[in-house]
Chain A
Amino acid sequence: DAGVIQSPRHEVTEMGQEVTLRCKPISGHNSLFWYRQTMMRGLELLIYFNNNVPIDDSGMPEDRFSAKMPNASFSTLKIQPSEPRDSAVYFCASSQLAGGPSSYNEQFFGPGTRLTVL
């Protein structure tokens, strides 16, 4: 099993440019999560999808951020226009949809994308 795949692993861009981060979840998983990690704010959930439908996007910082999941095997997180304060590590995670009380539904994390906005 390849695990959660994220691309690119590193991205350096200039302020004002559009940035697209990509994620391929584990096959068979039907929940997908986008997190952002910074020194100041720690790990924050940005948005998550169940069965390709956005469930909670309350963590998305502002309109410059958007996420899509066109099918069960692919998701994107887009920042347009990017700003220096968006510099962070962005993680994608996937899990099986939460079931009954005996189900852990562990989230498996990808390796992250380190974004630097100059």
Chain B
Amino acid sequence: AQTVTQSQPEMSVQEAETVTLSCTYDTSESDYYLFWYKQPPSRQMILVIRQEAYKQQNATENRFSVNFQKAAKSFSLKISDSQLGDAAMYFCAYRKRGNKLVFGAGTILRVKS
């Protein structure tokens, strides 16, 4: 079975600085997708960024970028120029072809002003 591991229960970052959230996953599939979701205190799940496994180029969405290392099964999220609004729980998720998403346990990100 596929598993997703987020080894950092909680992280802190100073406003305007950069932080990296870690995620590793286990799969025997070669064709799959990876996602980072953000869950602010409102509880709404918001898709931050996504990556197709067959693409070597790392995905980027404004201040958010990933470091996708397929061989190492690693998918970290980098947040640049951190803002107070980035404070939330972040979930890494995996999906192979088909629809079932597998989530990690989440990382709480605190942003200090």
Please give the residue numbers on chain A whose beta carbons come within 8 Å of chain B beta carbons, in ascending order: 31, 33, 42-43, 45, 48, 50, 55-56, 89, 91, 93, 95, 97-98, 101-102, 104-107, 109, 111-112, 114
Closest chain A residue, CB of each to CB of B105: A42
B54 cross-chain contacts in A, Cβ below 8 A: 101
Q: How does the 8 Å CB contact mask read for B75-101 relative to A, with 1 for contact and 0 for none?
A: 000000000000000010001011111
Q: Identify A31's interface contact among B33, B45, B99, CB under 8 A.
A: B99
Interface residues on B, range: 20 to 34
Q: Identify B99's interface contact among A91, A97, A101, CB under 8 A.
A: A97
Decide if A104 touches B33 in the complex (CB within 8 Å): yes
Most chain A beta-carbon neighbours within 10 Å: one of B100, B103, B105, B106:
B100
Tell me what chain B mostly uses at the interface: helix, strand, loop, or mixed: loop
Q: What CA separation (Å) do A42 and B108 show in the bound complex?
A: 13
Decide if A109 touches B44 in the complex (CB within 8 Å): yes
Are A105 and B99 CB-contacts (below 8 A) given A43-B91, A111-B43, A112-B43?
A: yes
- B75 CB to closest chain A CB (Å) equals 15
**Knowing that A48-B100, A98-B99 are A-B contacts, what are 19 other residue pairs whose CB atoms are under 8 Å apart, sorted by A's residue number?**
A42-B106, A43-B106, A45-B100, A45-B101, A50-B99, A55-B99, A56-B100, A89-B43, A93-B45, A101-B52, A102-B52, A104-B52, A105-B95, A105-B99, A106-B35, A109-B44, A109-B45, A112-B43, A112-B44
